[in-house]
Amino acid sequence: MRSSTAPPRPTPRSASLDHPQQRGVPMATHHGKEGVVKVGTNTVAETRTWSINQSVETVDDSSQGDGWKSHLVGMPEWDGEMECWWDETDTTGQEALEIGESVTLNLYPMGAATGAKYYTGTATITRVGMSVPVDGGVSRSFSFKGNGALTKATVT
């Protein structure tokens, strides 16, 4: 005869314990409003969002008889994008970002105060766009491609 009672279900782990802070692990978090972008030493006005991406190419070096694929690591590269509210008076920031220009970008995810970490590198501006919606503010967008290394640094 079969039992009518189901086996006990395992107790699910509390979802709140999935986050490291809930397990007592201290974490530093930052709000995007702290972000700053500079062209050289000049702050780009009215930035709304920016992103950087780092990648590396790989080359397949698998051979017959291998049980698994393998690869060689090639050269790293970086690129990114930025969007701003348009400010035509920002001559040393937004207006300096013309397609084909080579600029030193300093990207600060947690502000530019002393001790803050940031990324710096030379980049070529590869795309400049403008959006003029009927129901919103005029914005500019910029894409860039690194020319050399992207370096982590600390504001002194």
- Please determine, for residue 21, whether its predicted confidence score (pLDDT) is greater than 70: no
Q: What is the dotted CATH code of the domain comprising 32-58+69-154?
A: 2.30.110.20
Instruction: Report whether pLDDT(101) > 80.
Output: yes
The amino acid present at 28, given as its one-letter code, is: A
- Tell me the pLDDT tens digit for each residue of 26-66: 677 889 999 999 999 999 999 999 999 999 999 999 999 99
What would the DSSP string read from start to end of 65-76? Answer: T-SS--EEEEEE
pLDDT in tens, 136-148: 999 999 999 999 9
Residue spans per domain, the chain? 32-58+69-154
Residue 2 DSSP class: -
64 Rama sector, left if φ>0, alpha if ψ -120 to 50, beta otherwise: beta
Say how far apart CA 52 and CA 71 lie, in whole Å: 25
Q: How far apart are the first and last CA of the chain?
A: 77
DSSP bridge pairs for 119: 107, 152
* Whether pLDDT at 84 is above 90: yes
Q: Comparing C-alpha atoms, which of 50, 155, 46 is closest to residue 95? A: 46
Q: What is the spatial distance between Cα 98 and Cα 145, in angstroms, rounded to a whole number?
A: 13
Burial profile 134-152: b = 16 or more Cβ within 10 angstroms, e = fewer: eeeeebbebbbebeeebee
SS3 23: helix
Q: At residue 104, does pLDDT exceed 70? A: yes
Task: Tell me what the pLDDT averaged over the chain comes to.
Answer: 90
Q: Is the pLDDT of residue 15 over 80?
A: no
- pLDDT value at position 29? 84
